[in-house]
């Protein structure tokens, strides 16, 4: 009886023919050649040296315009800077004018100049109407802009640091984020001794970016800084300078308040910069701009500004120290 033919042994799925090995070698060789070409190490050419790399970098720097340190710092902090606007009602202004007129009448021999109108000085009061006040008329209920300042987002849920004097006494506070979104805000914390206030916006952009805060422990006179804000309501505007000194003291022109341990800087700051960030060349916040030194009534910048160290500002917001 003929012996049945034995079936051919099944090929293992892991066995490799000589043809497959040849193709694999070709692919590996092609990949190696492509890699060598990508590195500029073509066969027959010399290897790149450090001098070649330096020359290429130098050529790039000569032919490409590189952004300045200040421009990079501004780009980093811009998304976190907000405009802060405070409003008071006409009814309150009317009350203050009446008080000013009554005070002038009590001064013996005091006569107003021809055509002069008493000036109202809006004093700080808690937000919201006082109990027992009669309801204002529609005209009296209209709001008047009291001032414009700057704020910086420190928590991406709409928590903002600014100066207390920017929002003190306001009937309403509005903030405008870098993308144009507007929102009302309320004061949730204050540190009067350092002229700081913490605001909570009623709404905020979904992609809001909080500023990065940095310790001032290694700051030194001569370090570059950038002040960002809304001087005279224009902005956001940036001005560059250096740290001029540390641990400075400043007394307000009225002599009612003295602040200590301030950062002195020479980047231009004017009314409207109040509450804005003072940042390093990395765009990290080291202080909150709070005052300028000017012995004249002009209230304009003469070269000396002051900022509250960010450590104090963080404490006002209830954040842990660095």
Task: Write down the catalytic residue from 165, 171, 237, 239.
Answer: 165
195 annotated active-site: yes
Catalytic residue among 195, 204, 237, 266: 195
Active site residue 141: no
* DSSP H/E element including 237: strand 237-251
| Pairwise CA distance, residues 82 & 149, whole Å | 9
Each residue of 123-144: b (16+ CB within 10 Å) or e? eeeeeeeeeeeeeeeeeeeeee
Distinct helix (H) and strand (E) counts, the chain: 6, 12
Residue 168 a catalytic site member: no
Other beta carbons less than 10 A from residue 51's beta carbon = 8
Token code pair at residue 181: 């979104």
Q: What spatial distance separates the first Cα and last Cα of the chain, rounded to whole Å?
A: 96
φ/ψ of 92, rounded to 5, equals -70, -40
Please give the positions annotated as active site: 165, 195, 274
């Amino acid at each position: 009886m003929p012996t049945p033919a034995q079936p051919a042994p099944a090929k293992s799925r892991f066995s490799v023919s000589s043809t497959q090995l040849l193709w694999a070698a070709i692919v590996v060789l092609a990949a190696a050649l492509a890699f060598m070409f990508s590195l500029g190490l073509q066969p027959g050419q010399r290897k790149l040296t450090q001098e070649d790399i330096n020359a290429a970098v130098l050529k790039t720097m000569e032919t490409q315009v590189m952004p300045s340190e200040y421009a990079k710092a501004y780009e980093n902090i811009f998304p976190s800077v907000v405009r802060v606007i405070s409003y008071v009602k006409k009814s309150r202004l009317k009350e203050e004018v009446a008080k000013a007129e009554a005070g002038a009448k009590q001064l013996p021999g005091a006569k107003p100049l021809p055509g002069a109108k008493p000036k109202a000085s809006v004093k700080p009061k808690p937000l919201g109407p006082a109990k027992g006040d009669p309801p204002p008329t529609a005209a009296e209920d209209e709001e008047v802009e009291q001032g414009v300042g700057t704020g910086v987002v420190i928590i991406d849920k709409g928590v903002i640091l600014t100066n207390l004097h920017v929002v003190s006494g306001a009937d309403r506070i509005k903030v405008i984020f870098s993308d144009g979104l507007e929102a009302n805000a309320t004061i949730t914390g204050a540190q009067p001794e350092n002229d700081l206030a913490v605001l909570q916006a009623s709404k905020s952009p979904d992609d809001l970016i909080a500023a990065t805060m940095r310790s001032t422990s290694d700051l030194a006179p001569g370090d570059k800084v950038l002040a960002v804000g809304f001087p005279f309501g224009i902005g956001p505007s940036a001005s560059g300078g250096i740290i001029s000194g540390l641990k400075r003291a400043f007394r307000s022109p009225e002599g009612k308040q003295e602040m200590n341990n301030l950062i002195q800087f020479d980047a231009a700051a004017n009314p409207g910069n109040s509450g804005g960030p003072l940042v390093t060349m990395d765009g990290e916040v080291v202080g909150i701009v709070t005052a300028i030194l000017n012995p004249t009534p002009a209230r304009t910048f003469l070269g000396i500004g002051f900022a509250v160290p960010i450590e104090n500002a963080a404490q006002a917001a209830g954040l842990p120290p660095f």
